[in-house]
Amino acid sequence: MAQPEVLSQAFELGFTYTRSTGPVVGKFLTGLRDRTISGIKASDGRVIVPPMEYDPQTAAALTEFVEVGQQGEIVSWCWVKQPRAAHPIQQPFAWAMIRLDGADVAMIHCVVADAEEQLFTGARVSAVWADETRGYITDIRCFEIAGGQDSE
């Protein structure tokens, strides 16, 4: 049986609405716009970055913000040889779980490096800011392997 002709059309998947991000997520994103990174203290005192509105264990509302460093350590990572069109980096790069200095919980972001060999668990990385920051997680354009001498 011949296959009928398949009609297809490009479709952009996305949120077609805006909403207020509230006092916790909003404060974090506003901080990014000002090039600072903040976390929040969980019920057990651990610092969660990015901040969560509620503690996943106790369900308590969290309020105590803590500013954390812009450098951190890779907790785990993977190497993307062939970036997908939607990915934020269009050359081979890494996704990593990064525990920022002063934080106890790792956050996920991308790491730019020249080659997979430069990445390892425990590697120090530092945040690279977008040219224009607008209050989005993408204000951190990526992380890069921190040099021997910290620039800041």
Partner 1 sequence: MKDIAIVAFSQSDCLARAGAANEVELIMPQLRAVFSQVGLNNAQDVDFVCSGSCDYLQGAAFAFVAGVDALGAVPPIKESHVEMDAAWALYESILKIRMGQADSALIYGFGKSSSGELPIVLSQQLDPYYLAPLWVDTVSLAAMQARMLLEKELITERAMAQVVARARMHGRNNPHAQLGGEVSVDELLAAPTFVSPLRESDCAPVADGAAAMIICTPDKAREWGVPYALISGIDHRIETHNLGMRDLTDSVSTRLAAQTAGVSRGPVEVAEVYAPFSHQEIILGRALGLGDETVINPSGGVMVGNLMMASGLSRLGEVFRRIVSGEVSRGVAHATSGPCLQHNLVAVLESA
> Which residues are near partner 1 by CB under 8 A?
3-6, 11, 13, 15, 21, 25, 29, 48, 50, 52, 56, 75-81, 84-88, 95-97, 99, 105-110, 116, 121, 136-138
Phi-psi region of 145 (alpha: psi -120 to 50; beta: other; left: phi over 0): beta
Smaller CB separation from partner 1, 108 or 150? 108
Cis peptide before 50 (omega within 30 of 0): yes
In the complex, least distance from residue 149 CB atom to partner 1, rounded to whole angstroms: 28
In the complex, least distance from residue 97 CB atom to partner 1, rounded to whole angstroms: 6
Map 28-97 to HEC letters: HHHHHHCCCEEEEECCCCCEECCCCCECCCCCCECCCEEEECCEEEEEEEEEECCCCCCCCCCCCEEEEE
In the complex, least distance from residue 3 CB atom to partner 1, rounded to whole angstroms: 6
Question: What amino acid is encoded at 139 in this protein?
Answer: D
Smaller CB separation from partner 1, 63 or 150? 63
Question: What amino acid is encoded at 62 in this protein?
Answer: L
Smaller CB separation from partner 1, 63 or 108? 108
In the complex, least distance from residue 23 CB atom to partner 1, rounded to whole angstroms: 13
Smaller CB separation from partner 1, 110 or 148? 110
